[in-house]
Structure 1
Amino acid sequence: MGGFVAVGDLAERFSVTPQTMRRDINTLAGQGLVQRFHGGVGPALSTENVAYTDRQILCREEKRRIARDMARCIPPKSSLFINIGTTTEEVARALRGHERLRVITNNLNVATILTGHANIELIVAGGVVRHRDGGIVGEAAADFIRQFKVDFGIIGISGIDADGTLLDYDYREVRAARAIIDNSRKVFLATDYTKFGRNAMVRLGHLSEIDALFTDRNPPAVLEEVMRESEVALHVAGG
């Protein structure tokens, strides 16, 4: 997943026709997630993420399935962090029926989703608000998060390298996500299949630091091996 991959190999890997795979590649290339080449596809550039409004649409149904799957693993009366990302926002929606949750977030969209639900106590981190997606970033947000120790840290990611490295685009966002990992008893990673092998330039951590990965398709074999060695639970949401 680190370089060029032929259309035929991808179609076989995901059990779809080459025509379906080409359509998926065209969609991903249009969103800036990959680069399309003759006969195959390669990684996108590593310096800039897809626009937030586009990410809201991309793989929306897959993200909702992932979110429902994860929400079933969060018991009532839990404390949790929810960080920045369109997939974690879907997790917030899936949690609205839970009883007596305490949620700490650095995502204004998550705060909006959960506001007004009497069964959820909501705590919002302070810091710099990123205008493009409502994320709260910077050292103040990370310092705020470090004041807590919670049951579950729910995070998203922009890319997972073939060696299991977790990657993102904004070092300020990574500081807050790193604080979430360090201050959660269990860490749940929510990510759709497009993030496997995707490039980004800022290192967050490694798959071995995650307790469970929630996704919509099985990861590439090399990542599954990393997960087995690190005893990371894999949850693949059904269609």
Structure 2
Amino acid sequence: MSIELSDRQRHILSLITQQDYCSIEQLSADFSITKQTVRRDINTLCDLGLARRHHGGVSVPASLENSSYVARKTSFTDAKQKIAAQVAQEIPNGSTLFLGIGTTISAIAEQLGGHQKLRVITNNFEAASILSHYDHIETWIAGGRLRNGDRDIVGESSHDFFQQFIADIGIISCAAITTLGSTTHKPVDWCLEHELQEAKVSQAIINNSLQTWLVAHGTKLHRQANTKVAPLDSFNQVFKG
């Protein structure tokens, strides 16, 4: 028997698709309903495989998490712009930068127009397109197959490309942040990616940078991915919004 969603449930589904994660408290306030009613709506969406429960909230299911560039760019814009402004302020003129993939990285590129004598090496097609408008910023872009939905270039060619340079600062984002550990080891926070080829390129950036910075807005803590990139304590700076 099919189950038809209510207007409110469809609206909740639309919100979590746009934002990746919504808290029960947020949804309760947005719709002026009790938290218990929110939980019932969440249960319906989760039973249908349209959402995934978290303690205190709900997110898109794992199969939908690696969403398109356009969808990711329009979600959490304020948080990404805030992070981008913080990062740009910390970048000295004359630096050589690695910029990894992701929409937060693209937002950083938009903030670099006022910098002088930068060299930027990236596999982020959107970031390279933004930087192409600035004659005073030298931009290098990895070769290979363009992932149209993600606006980036990953794979062995990108991995090898970054190996040819040494950057003053390597800046990457990630798909998720998860605490991993065991009964014999202290739990460690890791940044993760959805795919091995994405993780390997980020690792190439890390391994060939004098400093490494991670950018991750708050919802990364509520998402899941399954490919290790690096532990958080290995980064020189972590910018969260």
By the TM > 0.5 criterion, same fold? yes
The alpha-carbon distance between structure 1 residues 19 and 120, as it changes in their structure 2 partners (threshold 3 A), is same
- Give the AA of the match of 1:68: A
The alpha-carbon distance between structure 1 residues 38 and 173, as it changes in their structure 2 partners (threshold 3 A), is closer
* Partner Cα distance (1:83, 1:127) in 2: 15
Match of 2:78, SS state, is: helix
Is 1:152–2:162 an aligned residue pair? no
Deviation at 1:198, TM superposition (A): 1.6
Q: 2:221 aligns with which of 185, 196, 204?
A: 196
1:130-152 CA-partner distances (Å, limit 9, x unpaired): 12122111111101101111100
* Partner Cα distance (1:43, 1:133) in 2: 18
Is 1:89–2:114 an aligned residue pair? no
* Partner Cα distance (2:63, 2:212) in 1: 25
Structure 2: stretches of 5+ with no match in the other structure: 1-22, 181-188
Deviation at 1:20, TM superposition (A): 5.2
Which residue number in structure 2 is paired with residue 234 of structure 1?
Answer: none
* Partner Cα distance (1:130, 1:143) in 2: 18
Q: 1:67 aligns with which of 84, 108, 121?
A: 84
* Partner Cα distance (1:205, 1:47) in 2: 23
RMSD, aligned α-carbons = 3.0
Match of 2:90, SS state, is: coil
* Partner Cα distance (2:108, 2:58) in 1: 30
Contact residue 47 and residue 169 of structure 1 kept, 8 A? no
TM-score (norm 2): 0.74
Determine which structure has more spread, i.e. the larger CA radius of gyration. Answer: 2
Is 1:117–2:134 an aligned residue pair? yes
Deviation at 1:36, TM superposition (A): 4.2
Contact residue 162 and residue 197 of structure 1 kept, 8 A? no
The alpha-carbon distance between structure 1 residues 114 and 33, as it changes in their structure 2 partners (threshold 3 A), is farther
1:17-71 CA-partner distances (Å, limit 9, x unpaired): 9525979x98xx9xx9962479743684268512221101100111001100110
- Give the AA of the match of 1:55: R
- Give the AA of the match of 1:160: I
* Partner Cα distance (1:33, 1:158) in 2: 20
* Partner Cα distance (1:197, 1:38) in 2: 9
Percent of aligned positions that are identical: 37
The alpha-carbon distance between structure 1 residues 184 and 166, as it changes in their structure 2 partners (threshold 3 A), is same
Deviation at 1:197, TM superposition (A): 3.8
* Partner Cα distance (2:83, 2:67) in 1: 20
Equivalent residues in 2 for 1:43-192, closer than 5 Å: 44-45=61-62, 48-163=65-180, 164-192=189-217
User: When the two structures are aligned, how many residues end up with a matched partner?
Assistant: 200
